[in-house]
Structure 1
Amino acid sequence: MMNPAEGNTSLFLLSLLLVCPICTSLDTITPEQPLKDGQLLLSNQKTFALGFFRPGSSSHRYVGIWFNQITEQTVVWVANRDAPLNDTSGVLSINGKGNLVLHTQNQTTPIWSTDVSFSVSSTNNSMAKLLDMGNLVLVQQDSQRWQSFDYPTNTLLSFMKLGLDRRTGLNRILRSWKSKDDPGIGNYSFQLVTTEIPQANLYRGRTISSRLGSWTGLRFSGILPGMISNYFNNSFVNNQDETTVMYSTFSNSADPKVISKFVVDESGIIRRSIWQETTWVEYWSFPQELCDKYLNCGPNGYCDQHNLVNFECKCFPGFEPKSSRDCMREKQGVSMCNNGEGFVKLAHMKVPDTSIAHADMSLSMKECEQKCLRNCSCMAYASANESEGGIGCLTWQGDLVDTRTYPDVGQDLYIRVDTVVLEMRHSTNSDSADSTLTYFEDSPSRMDLDGTRRNSNLPLFDLRTIIVATENFSIPNKLGQGGFGPVYKGLLQNGMEIAVKRLSKCSGQGIEQFKTEVALIAKLQHRNLVRILGCCIHKEEKMLIYEYLPNKSLDSFIFDETKRSCLDWVKRFEIICGIARGILYLHQDSRLRIIHRDLKASNVLLDNALNPKISDFGMARIVGGDQIEANTNCIVGTLFGTYGEKTIP
């Protein structure tokens, strides 16, 4: 009988045969040495492979490039994406004119070709090679004449440029697949728009779906700084020769070779991922929120995603609602030219669509203000470049569209207002997008440097701080998923690592149960109890902020065949004693007698030294000092889940 390990190996080998039956490998394609279905063209270090493949459940075959050293076939480029082969008779060769051509063995009419002009005398010297960065190049006499990087499909790789080459007129655009089974050109595309101030847009057909924004010197305006991973370095060039963006990856001792991809998928989502061990881990995606949708709010309004689920369209200062999403000047006919008008600063904004904006990189912000003030048609201004504290000048004339707020990042946007609005805003000393916008519903309290507020006995974390710390609750930061909500890892600005329990709005737990867990744990001080750092309450959002314990929960060790070997009998006995000490403290030594009622392996967390800490007090109950039993109407269960349950896909 075949054991499970042998079965898994057989399945893996079978999958390889389905992708590439009886593969042999080449290092170059020459006029004398074509590439046939069943053969692979490998890069020098075997990082990438080019060959024939069949995507998903499709019966068609294509020529493509994929990562060669990972277990999941991930295609990054397709030659004949809209002209598939129906069988395995395909051949990729160099024809008499020196071009790469794809045809079947039974006919010479090309299905796909590179279409490059060569001198007749040197066509026999043409050859194709696959570079270790995933770039297929066609070379003639040591001169590169064509490269696949100039004709991307749905994936941007490290060192691949996206955008316009003005010298050749070539515009590199990412276009999604039709489906996971069909690499043909799909509904979505991502490209740089080369207006006076270039910006990156995601399109559905010819209509803008989402706007990633203009380049700010550090990032695109629609990418939060917290979403920029330390793995990537982004580079933007805008000069007389080109308007392009590319990224490169940083390598370190922990990750000597970072395998990454930037993909526009068939659903219209841009995803940046890194391969880690056996799976792709997503580090960033766009769009993520309702406010990322283009023109979600009409002209002269901005999108305020105030509670992470719902959004609200608000009008700029000096404007009032014209409809549910459109805004107009509050006082029609009032002169806005040399009549005492000025500007109101809106902080933490995504600047408006720059397709109608003008730029002057020689101006300071003060000079930018004066330029906009002198031009009676100028509606707003902002810094053109965030680096060096803000340099250059952006000005807008006409309606301002596709603008939104961010929790604690973004640019300053200065809106032109009349003298009445200016005096009103100055009197309230407001420099935020909306003076009524709040992130806490408690009474005034002191804001600490780490982004917390002190209120009674427990630090209250600002929602903006939590969003930045968790990179907007990104999937790579997700530690686990309980029955009532996810848990995320976060990093505060002071360098402290935290675990954030975000209670699901449909969890069934009310504010009283939430307060129970907060109040109880805040009063408990013991080395075998998890330490709470604070909480965050914002409208419907309820979150607990704990110390981060990197070894997660006890069940992740005892039920894992590999990790359980780390727990010898001595360590297991220490863990048992630690749990017992924690329970003894709860039952006997604390100021309040507390019954946990949900003690299990997944609710015991382990620190760096594998010391146990009891967590999850949402179902705990306080009983009297002489009370030996109690009745309850509550349903016992894990309220918040634990971050021992690894659920990253």
Structure 2
Amino acid sequence: MNFAPGIPYILFQFLFLGLCSCLETISITQPIRDGDGGGSILVSSGEIFALGFFSPGKSNYRYVGIWYHKITEKSVVWVANRDNPINDTSGFLSIDTQGNLVLFDNNDQKVPVWSTNSSSLPTNEYAVAQLLDSGNLVLFQNESKHLLWQSFDYPTDTQLPNMKLGLDRRTGLNWFLTSWKSEDDPRIGNYTLRIDPAGSPQMFLYRGQVPLFRLGHWNGMRLSGFLVFTSDPVYYDSFVNNDKEISIMWNMYNISILSRIVVDESGLVQRYVWYQQENGWQQFLSEPSEPCDEYGHCGAFGLCDPNNTTFFECACLPGFEPKSPSEWNFRDGTHGCVRKPGSLICSKVINGLSLEACEKECLRSCNCTAYASANISEGGSGCLAWHGDLVNTRIFTPGGQDFYLRVDELELAQYTKKSKGSVATKGIRMIMVALGVIIFIIISFIAYWFAKMKRKGHRQLPLNANNTSGASPREEKLEESRTHPDLPFFDIRTLITATDDFSAKNMLGQGGFGSVYKGQLVNGQEIAVKRLSKHSGQGMHEFMNEVTVIAKLQHRNLVRLLGCCIHEEEKMLIYEYLPNKSLDYFIFDVTKRAHLDWSKRFDIVNGIARGILYLHQDSRLKIIHRDLKASNVLLDASMNPKISDFGMARMFGEDQIQANTDRVVGTYGYMSPEYAMQGLYSTKSDVFSFGVLLVEIISGRKNTESVNGSQFPNLIGHVWELWNDGRVLDIVDPALCQPFSTDKVSRCIHIGLLCVQEAATERPDISDVIFMLANETTLPPPNTPAFTFLYADSSKSSGSVSCNRVSITTLEAR
């Protein structure tokens, strides 16, 4: 027997489950109470979900929420009083005389903290609340089983199977997800996932009221705005659009598998699946994940192709050209494209065209810009037409659908081929297209010849825009590098203006690879210009490598590269400006590190770990950084960490585990022993560096400096000595004042020691590190860590080795 999801399905559950005496319920005589011992909880019949009082993260406030009952990691899926917490453990949840589910603070029982505000009950009825195995908390009349209220109608940040997102046209209920304020604060946050019912309904992720990511229209099989395969083996979606409601919901093919969709506090829509054998949530999907996911990234009539390697991911649709060519050249496509002069789309439709019904419908109206048609025989919804500006057009491989744009006949040869006009007309059109191509080639050749003659007859700009100097012998080689698909180039004049001709007052820091200057572009954007020294160890290879690698990476915990500049013998990188300098500026300074409490240090550790996880696992590339250290972690205005300096990074193949080099690069004190001694590097090399960094953050000491009274020559040895003696608190930075959790600090030191094991195979993956940081699972005992990494084999050390005392990324705000 099949039942449609929604209220009828819930009533069906009541008929068979609601009368079972073994089910726990909330009634007027049986409330749920908080308490110092954890209080009472309400558990669903299958023991899948529980409802009760909880405090999120480091918060002391109390909330009523629903979470997975048998999962040790408390994963909260719904919060009742998210904007009205209770200050202590005196709260209780009950049914009042009107049949409402009401939350009271026992210190003040006059005004409820939260209430369902449902309709009043008949005099001969009373209300009962029950938690279903679907995670839905329902309030119903005990005798008639009439539904009064359900938590699925008021989602917070999580969508569960069979939970609707959309709009009830009859009641006005709007089902949408809103992120938490932070992981410790369930208040309404900045990000919302909801359906926009205007026109053809589509799903958007908003930051405030601004669209951030478009999940797209329903095309009959799926939402069209993000990458999915046509046939998904894990879950399936269903969509309703009628006079009663607009809604989308999903379910698992295997209902025994636990899964949830969360809009997290950082603005990501993430799907998690619980893997019992690994005892943890595994991320199945995370969006937005690349530049093309950003709403309006390429502007109106722009096409975003994440696999485009010719210039950058944005291109104009046929018949269009960049609206702002100068911004386009700087890889900024937000201004979009405009129709080329003389390009006509509203010409008379030629009689006799044999087109599908959707195409005919679009061609009837000159206001129709484009159309797409899903295959109805495969479950598609048929014709979908667009009018006006096209925004957020992108290429998917696989998972997209055919899209037809209205263009001028001469702009697209394929469109001309559809015409059933005379052979003579076809021939004329083809000749015109051919002549146009020939003329374009001739003009391009002449322009190239003049440009080449100009380069030979003129001298290139020096670092003073008002003077000239002789061209470098390497000029042609550098000019060729400007065609690299991942290099957004800045003109030298722009950087001279932005930095006041690289004046000393704008210098932020100086190191072995050169200097860093603060600058401001004409649009007001602040930048940091890393000007590499002509005599630095970072040559053209490292420079091109850093740009190539970081230009492909997009993550909140990685520094953002804005562009680069090559001028004669000079090489410059342009980064986002981060006002709080680098991590070493804080943790190795007695006064400044006092401003980093335990909460902030732990957040920095987590942020660094997430950045490494992205490099190792979640990015399109598999990146080994090879030079992770405190000076290569920058801090933004909110003290969020961002990994920088990718000059020594290496890309791995998807199945590659380890590589070998005769050119050891990095920083002694952070190098893993197998890398320093044998030139072997892998993801475990970065894990080793992270372990060193973790211990440094906790202790406030540099690993390369010996500790008075210790028998070991470095910090790791000293920490191991104290750990074995049970003197864990002696490891902690004296500037780190209470309150902090001794258990959590001890656990972090334990994790750090696991990361610096002598054998790479004994170190955890960075994904395991993140799991261990977030959960109270049992940790394996560490073995004696590696101490020999301070002494590198000179036969392997012919490469670039940076000194930890001086860093190019020591930025100073002004």
TM bracket, shorter-chain basis: 0.5 to 0.7
Q: Distance in 2 between matches of 1:57 and 1:481?
A: 23
Aligned partner letter, 1:331: P
Are 1:99 and 2:100 matched, yes or no? yes
Cα gap change, 1:342/1:259 in structure 2, threshold over 3 Å: closer, same or farther?
farther
Preserved contact between residue 205 and residue 211 of structure 2 (Cα < 8 Å): yes
How far apart are 1:144 and its partner, in Å?
A: 1.6
Cα gap change, 1:111/1:401 in structure 2, threshold over 3 Å: closer, same or farther?
same
Candidates 415, 418, 426, aligned match of 2:408: 418
Residue 601 of structure 2: aligned partner:
none
Q: Distance in 2 between matches of 1:276 and 1:173?
A: 27
Residue 131 of structure 2: aligned partner:
130
Q: Distance in 2 between matches of 1:483 and 1:45?
A: 35
Preserved contact between residue 91 and residue 102 of structure 1 (Cα < 8 Å): yes
Higher relative contact order (CA 8 A, sep 6+): 1
Residue 680 of structure 2: aligned partner:
638
Candidates 172, 179, 183, aligned match of 2:182: 179
Residue 208 of structure 1: aligned partner:
211
Deviations 1:192-213 (A, max 9, x none): 1122311100011111111111
Preserved contact between residue 222 and residue 237 of structure 2 (Cα < 8 Å): yes
Residue 386 of structure 2: aligned partner:
396
Candidates 339, 351, 355, aligned match of 1:329: 339
Aligned partner letter, 2:262: V
Deviations 1:481-522 (A, max 9, x none): 99996479xxxxxxxxxxx995538679xxxxxxxxxxxxxx
How far apart are 1:335 and its partner, in Å?
A: 6.2
How far apart are 1:33 and its partner, in Å?
A: 1.3
Candidates 197, 210, 213, aligned match of 1:194: 197
Aligned partner letter, 1:393: C
Are 1:248 and 2:251 matched, yes or no? yes
Over aligned residue pairs, what C-alpha RMSD do you find? 3.9
Preserved contact between residue 374 and residue 380 of structure 2 (Cα < 8 Å): yes
Q: Distance in 2 between matches of 1:311 and 1:423?
A: 25
Q: Distance in 1 between matches of 2:352 and 2:677?
A: 59
How far apart are 1:397 and its partner, in Å?
A: 1.7
Residue 225 of structure 2: aligned partner:
222
Q: Distance in 1 between matches of 2:268 and 2:620?
A: 26
How far apart are 1:53 and its partner, in Å?
A: 0.7
Residue 233 of structure 1: aligned partner:
236
Q: How many residues align?
A: 433
Cα gap change, 1:482/1:224 in structure 2, threshold over 3 Å: closer, same or farther?
closer
How far apart are 1:411 and its partner, in Å?
A: 1.4
Q: Distance in 2 between matches of 1:118 and 1:424?
A: 66
Aligned partner letter, 1:210: F
Cα gap change, 1:341/1:101 in structure 2, threshold over 3 Å: closer, same or farther?
farther
Aligned partner letter, 1:110: P
Aligned partner letter, 2:358: C
Q: Distance in 1 between matches of 2:614 and 2:392?
A: 35
Cα gap change, 1:391/1:162 in structure 2, threshold over 3 Å: closer, same or farther?
closer
Q: Distance in 2 between matches of 1:617 and 1:55?
A: 43
How far apart are 1:378 and its partner, in Å?
A: 1.5
Aligned-partner SS, 1:51: strand
How far apart are 1:377 and its partner, in Å?
A: 1.8
Cα gap change, 1:86/1:373 in structure 2, threshold over 3 Å: closer, same or farther?
same
Aligned partner letter, 1:192: I
Residue 51 of structure 1: aligned partner:
52
Cα gap change, 1:641/1:39 in structure 2, threshold over 3 Å: closer, same or farther?
closer
Cα gap change, 1:541/1:392 in structure 2, threshold over 3 Å: closer, same or farther?
farther
Aligned-partner SS, 2:356: helix
Deviations 1:361-418 (A, max 9, x none): xxx9712112222212221111156762866111122111111122344111111111
Cα gap change, 1:334/1:45 in structure 2, threshold over 3 Å: closer, same or farther?
closer
Residue 303 of structure 1: aligned partner:
304
Cα gap change, 1:401/1:377 in structure 2, threshold over 3 Å: closer, same or farther?
same
How far apart are 1:222 and its partner, in Å?
A: 2.1
Deviations 1:600-628 (A, max 9, x none): xxx7xxxxxxxxxxxx565599xxxxxxx
Q: Distance in 1 between matches of 2:140 and 2:216?
A: 37
How far apart are 1:165 and its partner, in Å?
A: 1.7
Aligned-partner SS, 1:149: helix
- Structure with bigger helix share is 2
Aligned partner letter, 2:75: T
Q: Distance in 1 between matches of 2:612 and 2:96?
A: 59
Aligned-partner SS, 1:234: strand
Q: Distance in 1 between matches of 2:294 and 2:194?
A: 16
Aligned partner letter, 1:289: E
Preserved contact between residue 218 and residue 386 of structure 1 (Cα < 8 Å): no
Percent of aligned positions that are identical: 46
> What TM-score does the superposition give when structure 1 sets the normalisation length?
0.60
Candidates 150, 153, 167, aligned match of 1:147: 150
Which of 87-96 and 233-242 deviates more?
233-242
Cα gap change, 1:545/1:259 in structure 2, threshold over 3 Å: closer, same or farther?
closer
How far apart are 1:291 and its partner, in Å?
A: 0.9
Cα gap change, 1:273/1:64 in structure 2, threshold over 3 Å: closer, same or farther?
same
Aligned-partner SS, 1:225: coil
Residue 114 of structure 2: aligned partner:
112
Cα gap change, 1:242/1:187 in structure 2, threshold over 3 Å: closer, same or farther?
same
Residue 67 of structure 1: aligned partner:
68
Q: Distance in 1 between matches of 2:617 and 2:319?
A: 41
Q: Distance in 2 between matches of 1:617 and 1:143?
A: 66
Q: Distance in 2 between matches of 1:95 and 1:317?
A: 65
Cα gap change, 1:382/1:341 in structure 2, threshold over 3 Å: closer, same or farther?
farther
Residue 24 of structure 2: aligned partner:
27
Residue 36 of structure 1: aligned partner:
33
Residue 375 of structure 1: aligned partner:
365
Cα gap change, 1:176/1:213 in structure 2, threshold over 3 Å: closer, same or farther?
same
Residue 284 of structure 2: aligned partner:
283
Are 1:504 and 2:623 matched, yes or no? yes
Gaps of 5+ in 2: 1-21, 418-429, 435-483, 486-609, 628-648, 664-675, 685-759, 771-814
Aligned partner letter, 1:109: V
Deviations 1:216-252 (A, max 9, x none): 222211232249752212111112222111111222x
Cα gap change, 1:618/1:160 in structure 2, threshold over 3 Å: closer, same or farther?
same
Deviations 1:245-279 (A, max 9, x none): 1111222xxxx821111100011101100112321
Residue 271 of structure 1: aligned partner:
270
Preserved contact between residue 290 and residue 311 of structure 1 (Cα < 8 Å): no
Aligned partner letter, 2:395: T
Preserved contact between residue 624 and residue 682 of structure 2 (Cα < 8 Å): no
Aligned-partner SS, 2:64: strand
> What TM-score does the superposition give when structure 2 sets the normalisation length?
0.48
Preserved contact between residue 342 and residue 422 of structure 1 (Cα < 8 Å): no
- Structure with bigger strand share is 1
Q: Distance in 2 between matches of 1:617 and 1:127?
A: 63
Q: Distance in 2 between matches of 1:295 and 1:203?
A: 13
Preserved contact between residue 221 and residue 380 of structure 2 (Cα < 8 Å): no
Residue 162 of structure 1: aligned partner:
165
How far apart are 1:65 and its partner, in Å?
A: 0.6
Deviations 1:88-132 (A, max 9, x none): 111111111111111122323111101111234035x21111111
Preserved contact between residue 23 and residue 45 of structure 2 (Cα < 8 Å): no
Preserved contact between residue 81 and residue 113 of structure 2 (Cα < 8 Å): yes
Cα gap change, 1:86/1:487 in structure 2, threshold over 3 Å: closer, same or farther?
closer
How far apart are 1:336 and its partner, in Å?
A: 3.0
Are 1:257 and 2:259 matched, yes or no? no
How far apart are 1:319 and its partner, in Å?
A: 0.7
Cα gap change, 1:180/1:89 in structure 2, threshold over 3 Å: closer, same or farther?
same
Aligned-partner SS, 2:338: strand
Cα gap change, 1:117/1:409 in structure 2, threshold over 3 Å: closer, same or farther?
closer
Cα gap change, 1:341/1:305 in structure 2, threshold over 3 Å: closer, same or farther?
farther
Preserved contact between residue 307 and residue 541 of structure 1 (Cα < 8 Å): no
Q: Distance in 2 between matches of 1:307 and 1:207?
A: 27
